Amino acid sequence: MAEVYDIIIIGAGPGGLAAGIYASRSKLKTLVIEKGRVGGQAATTEEMENYPGYFSGTTGPELMEKMHQHAQHFGCQFVKDEVVDLELGEFQKTVITKKGRYHAKAVIIGSGAQPRPLGVMGEQELKGKGVSYCATCDADFFEDLDVVVVGNGDAAIEEAIYLTRFAAKVSIIVIHDEGILDATKVIQERALANDKIEFVWNSVLEEIKGDGLVESVLVKNLKTGEVTDLEANGVFIFVGTVPRTQFLQGKVDLDERGYIPTSQLMETSQDGVYAVGDVRQKYLRQVVTAASDGAIAAVAAEKFIHEEENFQTEVLQKEKVAVMFWTPMEQACLDQVPLVEEMAAAGKLDLVKIDTYRNQRIARRYNIEQLPTLLFLEDGAETGRETGPLTREKLQSHF
Amino acid sequence: MLEVNKENFEQEVLNQKGLVLVDYWSPKCEPCMELLPSMEELEAKFESVKFCKLDILKNRRLAIGQKVMGLPTILIYLDGEKKGELSKDFSIEDVEQKLRELGA
């Protein structure tokens, strides 16, 4: 019998690591599968000053290493491997990697996102030859040289500021009118005060030129239509991200952009499968929100495992059992519980009550549309059901 | 992996017969750090290939001279001539395939 984990987490970014901390601290047997190095995108950014409690000099890689150690401290296991496929649908799920197969009762997907390419001429050919999506990786090449940054969100402006420590001049190509940036105010102010930074407003990058290495870029002014050839040795592109969900096609529901829609409990379209961090459809993609997702998913997954295991032993593995779906929020349900309990006791039939307010998943599985509903099962298979109002006459034949 | 630098690059890479792989990296580059252990595993698999690494922080001009301006980058030389190149998003399997294509 192969080893079965309680929870397998795909990806060791802040979402996956927070889930790993919560799950392993709850004594769940937890495995994190990471294809590269622990830390995710957060480990590729130097500036990290909006994670609560960390503001003076802590870098992205340092913070992520602490989270890694934190998870290990509670017994979370890590393996370096790449997930290529999943077998879902059953309580025991299989995660298929390049090197093997792993089994778990719940899966948390934190595979993250990667920089979105701009899609302009020359970008692909000059990647690694001056075109970059990672300032910490490549900034050193551009000491005393001129670089161009494309984008104007937090990432673009923060990385532009970081680049001024190396480059002679940093030109930021901004699609908006003069003075308008998508980045947070505090970051904007810092950039506007930096005399190595020059803004090129109302403009888009049209082409990256160079023979072997980047030599210049063509910048088009959207107002005048004028195209300028701007000399530059490097082009740093920060225009958002795309989710890493190719391996999930047909496995869980994805939105039109490839992100995973989830419930408030981080549940995906598959029972026992959760999504956390940047890979999820969400409003704000930050280390702190990824960590929050991870905590929620781990707690939800723990509850899922507990409920499913309970349902298996209390219901599915019983020779004969009655299951009452009810909710204490409805008076009709409250009124009918004593009768059902009395008749079950008299008929010596095990009765399991499921509060649908707390557990909607099992109710959905049995297509429970009305409360209360009483289900009768033999050896895990449904043999009959009665819907409310449950009367002595209706129940007589079952007990 | 042999550490190459501006002093020994010509002798160890450009004047070498056969296949030489150079991993251009920097300690500040997370994807490069991810790659290094797998490169070492790959080295053990290919006895006929000489594996080298070059820290661009100490050898920036040399790297730019080889037209490397982004990390991670792997260059493969045959008899001192650049024959293969992988940059940015590639996997260790891609490196292995490239080596085989070049006859390793």
Q: Is residue A49 part of a domain?
A: yes
Verify whether residue A137 is a known catalytic residue.
Answer: yes
> In this structure, is the dihedral angle defined by the CA atoms of residues A52, A57, A60 and A61, taken in order, positive or negative?
negative
- Interface size between A and B, measured as CB pairs under 8 A: 74
- Check residue A92 and give its pLDDT: 95
Q: For residue A204, give the 3-state DSSP assignment.
A: strand
Q: Same domain for A245 and A106? A: yes
Boundary of a domain, candidates A257, A287, A311: A311
Q: With contacts defined as CB-CB under 8 Å, which chain B residues touch A139?
A: 28
Residue A152 in tokens: 């104007």
The architecture (CATH level 2) of B2-99 comes to 3-Layer(aba) Sandwich (3.40)
Q: Same domain for A68 and A141? A: no
Burial of A60 (0-12, 13-18, 19+ CB in 10 A): buried
Tell me whether residues B67 and A129 touch, CB distance under 8 A.
Answer: yes
Tell me whether residues B26 and A140 touch, CB distance under 8 A.
Answer: yes
Q: Searching chain A, which residue's CA lies closest to the CA of residue B26? A: A137
- Check residue A197 and give its pLDDT: 98
- Check residue B17 and give its pLDDT: 95
The string of DSSP codes covering A81-131 is --EEEEE-SSSSEEEEESS-EEEEEEEEE---EEEPP---BTTTTTBTTTE
DSSP A47: B
Q: Same domain for A232 and A247? A: no
Per-position pLDDT tens, chain A of length 399 = 579 999 999 999 999 999 999 999 999 999 999 998 899 999 988 878 889 998 888 899 999 999 999 999 999 999 999 999 999 989 999 999 999 999 999 999 999 999 999 999 999 999 999 999 999 999 999 999 999 999 999 999 999 999 999 999 999 999 999 999 999 999 999 999 999 999 999 999 999 999 999 999 999 999 999 999 999 999 999 999 999 999 999 999 999 999 999 999 999 999 999 999 999 999 999 999 999 999 999 999 999 999 999 999 999 999 999 999 999 998 988 999 999 999 999 888 899 999 998 888 899 889 999 899 999 999 999 999 999 888 888 888 887
Contacts 24+ apart (CB under 8 A), A163-167: A163/A135, A163/A139, A163/A236, A164/A194, A164/A196, A164/A197, A165/A139, A166/A139, A166/A140, A166/A142, A167/A139, A167/A142, A167/A143, A167/A196, A167/A234
Residue A28 C-alpha, separation from nearest chain B C-alpha, in angstroms? 28
- Check residue A1 and give its pLDDT: 58
B84/B36 Cα distance (integer angstroms): 18
How far, CA to CA in Å, does A362 sit from each of A6, A39, A269? 19, 36, 14
pLDDT lower than 70: segments of chain B: none
Tell me whether residues A213 and B34 touch, CB distance under 8 A.
Answer: no
Interface test with A, best of B69, B91, B93 (most A CBs within 10 A): B69
Tell me whether residues B73 and A136 touch, CB distance under 8 A.
Answer: no
Verify whether residue A138 is a known catalytic residue.
Answer: yes
Sequence spans of domains, chain B: 2-99
Q: What is the ipTM of this complex?
A: 0.91
Q: Searching chain B, which residue's CA lies closest to the CA of residue A59? A: B28
Whats the size of chain A, residue-wise? 399
Which of A328, A324, A339 has its CA nearest to residue A375?
A: A324
Q: Searching chain B, which residue's CA lies closest to the CA of residue A132? A: B70
Q: For residue A55, give the 3-state DSSP assignment.
A: coil
Q: Is residue A119 part of a domain?
A: no
Q: Same domain for A272 and A228? A: no
B26/B53 Cα distance (integer angstroms): 10
Verify whether residue A134 is a known catalytic residue.
Answer: yes
Boundary of a domain, candidates A190, A221, A237: A237
Q: Is residue A216 part of a domain?
A: yes
Q: Searching chain B, which residue's CA lies closest to the CA of residue A130? A: B69
User: Which range marks the domain in which residue A46 is found?
Assistant: 4-114+241-311
CATH number at residue A368: 3.40.30.10
- Check residue A391 and give its pLDDT: 87
Q: Same domain for A210 and A189? A: yes
A369/A361 Cα distance (integer angstroms): 12
Tell me whether residues A137 and B57 touch, CB distance under 8 A.
Answer: no
Tell me whether residues A213 and B67 touch, CB distance under 8 A.
Answer: yes
Q: Same domain for A307 and A324? A: no
CATH number at residue A178: 3.50.50.60
Q: Same domain for A249 and A226? A: no
State the catalytic residue, choosing from A6, A76, A138, A293.
A138
Q: How many domains does chain A have?
A: 3
Residue B22 C-alpha, separation from nearest chain A C-alpha, in angstroms? 15
Identity of the residue numbered A85: D
Boundary of a domain, candidates A257, A288, A311: A311
Q: With contacts defined as CB-CB under 8 Å, which chain B residues touch A141?
A: 56, 60, 63-64, 69-70
- Check residue A388 and give its pLDDT: 81
Contact assessment for residue A109 and residue A197, using Cβ atoms and an 8 Å cutoff: no
Q: Same domain for A24 and A106? A: yes
- Check residue A148 and give its pLDDT: 98
- Check residue A45 and give its pLDDT: 84
Buried b (16+ CB within 10 A) or exposed e, A137-163: bbbbbbeebbbbbbbbebbbbbbbbbb
Q: With contacts defined as CB-CB under 8 Å, which chain A residues touch B64?
A: 141, 213
Residue B77 in tokens: 């030389």
pTM: 0.86
Q: Searching chain B, which residue's CA lies closest to the CA of residue A115? A: B89
B68/B60 Cα distance (integer angstroms): 9
Tell me whether residues B70 and A212 touch, CB distance under 8 A.
Answer: no
